[in-house]
Amino acid sequence: MSKLERASFGSKLGVILATAGSAVGLGNIWRFPYMTGQNGGAVFIIIYIFCILLLGIPCMISEFIIGRHGQANTARAFRKMSGGSIWSVIGYMGVLTGFLISSYYAVVSGWCLEYIWASLMGKLQGDPEYISNYFVTFSQDPVKPVFWTFLILFATYMIIAHGVRDGIERASKLMMPTLFILLLIIVAASCMLPDAQKGIEFLFKPDMSKVNGDVFLAALGQSFYSLSIAMGCICTYASYFSKQTNLAGSAIQIGIIDFLVALLAGLVIFPAAFSVGVNPDSGPSLIFITLPNVFQQAFGGISSLGYIIAVLFYILLSMAALTSLMSLHEVSTAFLEEEMGTTRKRAALAVAVCCIILGIFCSLSLGSLSGFRLFGMTLFDLFDFVTGQLFLPMVGFLTCIFLGWFVPHKIVRDEFTNMGTLDNGRLFHLYLFLVKYVCPICILFIFLHQFGLL
């Protein structure tokens, strides 16, 4: 692919939907609801919005600037902007982070496909204990999770192999609107349940007594992870932006879409949960263990509505997982294509094969290989720990320091203002202040808090 071909998406809509698709994933539909439930509902949401503005959007703009300026994969973009200095290692860390996340994220994405199939076959109906045990039995199976992991990675490969416009952009234009339509349908059904208003009140009526330092840090962490920051995705996608793309405006639009999806996911889950008396802080098991029971109890008495809602929800979840997996896959594909001088299809195939191999071991580490441990963790947990608790905050922190303190401000300003054609000079000074001082401090707090040091 020539530089001209990879310089931009085909349209402004493609930019927004593809990049929003990267950000919108399981972190919005799975992690955000249970984090909200564990941290006081509405008050967490208010703080989360503040954190998106304070941390998420400035960090996203930073990756936009580096990616578009470099017009290359994440590693090369950092290398160009740093002049080949030691700072270029940040780009390589971003590529590695994206690749490792792809491997175990594909396993979780495969679980979503299994739950579509199980919902269609009526396997998630019946005894609540059976439904609760279904996930444990399935995730420890040596064959089924591997099959679904392969299937979703094959689908991802087919999209990525078709390129930026015919693959990523076209798929995003199809899946993102569909995702919103499905969300709205399920929200409407959930909010019409008996006692649904209790769940709505939980989301929108803040209890200020819940405010403490842990809630602030949880909201900071969620804002960081939900926007796919420091995984190489945002930087790689930005390399396909045109020079006319308004980086700040695009980041704000994507932040709004990302938040709306998370909020709508909350409007699916909490009204339904409160209608059947389920605790809203069910934790990470919410989607695969708690929700099937919630759907059956809440909608089971209304003809086949529970069956339909479950199928639609897991289709929605699978699409959210796929849009994020596409962007993670693209990070490594663009790297191999440009650094190794190979074709896109060969690069995409190599990434898919490597992810399948690692995904198999990650999946088996939850079952037949659970006895094999590294540093006391299964391979799945190790990948999650290394990327989520070490690499992501490190890459995010170093990116802010690099762009805020070492890159000449003229380069940063030129990209931010599109070479002075945008009248957003005041906004640039606010952005620069946040990325120099506020964002690094926030990321440092997140890092220390997750290890119990704060």
Domain ranges within the chain, ordered by starting residue:
3-450
Both tokens of 55, joined, read: 């941390």
Of 334, 385, 332, 337, residue with least CA distance to 355? 332
* Lowest-confidence segment of 2-16, 18-32, 223-237 by average pLDDT: 2-16
pLDDT reported for residue 300 = 62
Whether residue 260 is predicted with pLDDT greater than 90 in this model: the reply is: yes
Neighbours of 212 (CB within 10 A): 12
Backbone angles phi, psi at 230, to 5 degrees: 75, 15
Neighbours of 244 (CB within 10 A): 10
Strand partners, 374: 377
Dist CA 165 CA 154 (whole Å): 19
Judge whether 73 and 236 are in contact, CB under 8 Å.
Answer: yes
pLDDT reported for residue 273 = 85
Q: What is the mean pLDDT of the chain?
A: 90
Which one has a higher pLDDT value, 5 or 450?
Answer: 450
Helix (H) or strand (E) holding 94: helix 89-120
pLDDT reported for residue 7 = 44
pLDDT tens by residue, 366-398: 998 988 998 999 999 999 999 988 999 999 999
pLDDT reported for residue 282 = 62
Average pLDDT over residues 60-78: 96
Exposed (0-12), middle (13-18) or buried (19+): which is 372, by Cβ within 10 Å?
exposed
pLDDT tens by residue, 34-51: 888 888 889 999 999 999
Of 168, 151, 304, 298, residue with least CA distance to 233? 168
DSSP 295: H
pLDDT reported for residue 310 = 86
Q: Which value, to the nearest 10 degrees, does the dihedral of the CA atoms of residues 71, 76, 78, 84 take?
A: -130
Q: Is residue 224 very low, low, confident or very high in pLDDT (cuts 50, 70, 90)?
A: confident
Angle at 450 between CA 329 and CA 285, to 5 degrees: 65
Which one has a higher pLDDT value, 291 or 404?
Answer: 404
Average pLDDT over residues 406-428: 93
Dist CA 74 CA 236 (whole Å): 5
Q: Is residue 449 very low, low, confident or very high in pLDDT (cuts 50, 70, 90)?
A: confident
* 3 state SS of 275: helix
Average pLDDT over residues 328-347: 95
Chain CA centroid to CA 326, Å: 11
Dist CA 287 CA 131 (whole Å): 12
Both tokens of 208, joined, read: 């200020």
Which positions ≥6 away from 76 have C-beta within 8 Å? 70, 91, 335, 338, 339
pLDDT reported for residue 2 = 41
% pLDDT > 90, the chain: 65
CATH architecture of the domain 3-450 equals Orthogonal Bundle (1.10)
Average pLDDT over residues 197-224: 88
pLDDT reported for residue 453 = 79
pLDDT reported for residue 208 = 86
% pLDDT > 70, the chain: 96
Dist CA 81 CA 95 (whole Å): 16
pTM comes to 0.93
Whether residue 217 is predicted with pLDDT greater than 90 in this model: the reply is: no
Average pLDDT over residues 162-173: 93
Both tokens of 255, joined, read: 């932040």
Average pLDDT over residues 130-154: 92
C-alpha distances (whole Å) from 237 to each of 20, 87, 316 are: 10, 20, 23
pLDDT reported for residue 272 = 87
